[in-house]
Amino acid sequence: MKIPPKTIRILILLIAVWLIISPQTSLAQNTQKILILPFDLRTDAKYEFLKTAYTDMLFTRLSGPGRAIIVAEDNGTAEMPPATAIQIARQKEADYVVIGSVILLDNAIGTQAEFIGVAEEKALISFNQKGLKPGDIITQIDNFTAQVNADFFNPSAFTEDDTTQSDVPDDIYLHPEKLVIPQTPSE
């Protein structure tokens, strides 16, 4: 039985279209959505910029293949209960939601954060760290996001010991804290 050339061309075209569409469809189905709600910020006025900076740091550090990050608009400054966060996450069709608070005062520095599974309706990671100096806030967000990434998105992630500094790209979007230039003593 001989297949007409026109039929072969149509089959090839259909297979090509299927190959192009299929990976995108399966990728969309496997995408995990993470909703980041604004953190409750308790600080002196000079650190108010941290409200948006903290959200930006969470966004860049949690972004990755197979993940869609949703940043919620400002919902005020009151600390949000997990049940309310889960309800908002469901409305935005998110799989996970991140909530928390930051304290940056003269004698108190710390980060409290929760990575909540919407389907599980509970905190999958509860994070609480205190520090001694304002720069510890960046280390705390790094520690929280590293724990989330290792536990949920990249179990085979390498550690800093597995790479050298030259292997790591100098990316200001991943590390906005590098934009701060320390003052040098005057001569």
Q: How far apart are CA 173 and CA 27, in angstroms?
A: 25
Q: How far apart are CA 45 and CA 51, in angstroms?
A: 11
Task: Give the tens place of pLDDT for each residue, 145-163.
Answer: 999 988 888 655 444 444 4
Task: Give the tens place of pLDDT for each residue, 123-148.
Answer: 999 999 999 888 888 899 999 999 99
Question: 3-class DSSP state for residue 44?
Answer: coil
Instruction: Give the DSSP letter of residue 119.
Output: T
pTM of the model: 0.66
Ranges of each domain in the chain: 31-154
Q: Which of the following CATH numbers is that of domain 31-154: 3.40.50.10610, 3.10.20.90, 3.90.420.10, 3.20.20.220?
A: 3.40.50.10610
Q: How far apart are CA 8 and CA 25, in angstroms?
A: 25
Is the sign of the CA dihedral 111, 117, 120, 121 positive or negative? Answer: positive
> What's the confidence (pLDDT) of residue 90?
93
Task: Give the tens place of pLDDT for each residue, 71-123.
Answer: 876 655 557 789 999 999 999 999 999 999 988 887 788 999 999 999 999 99
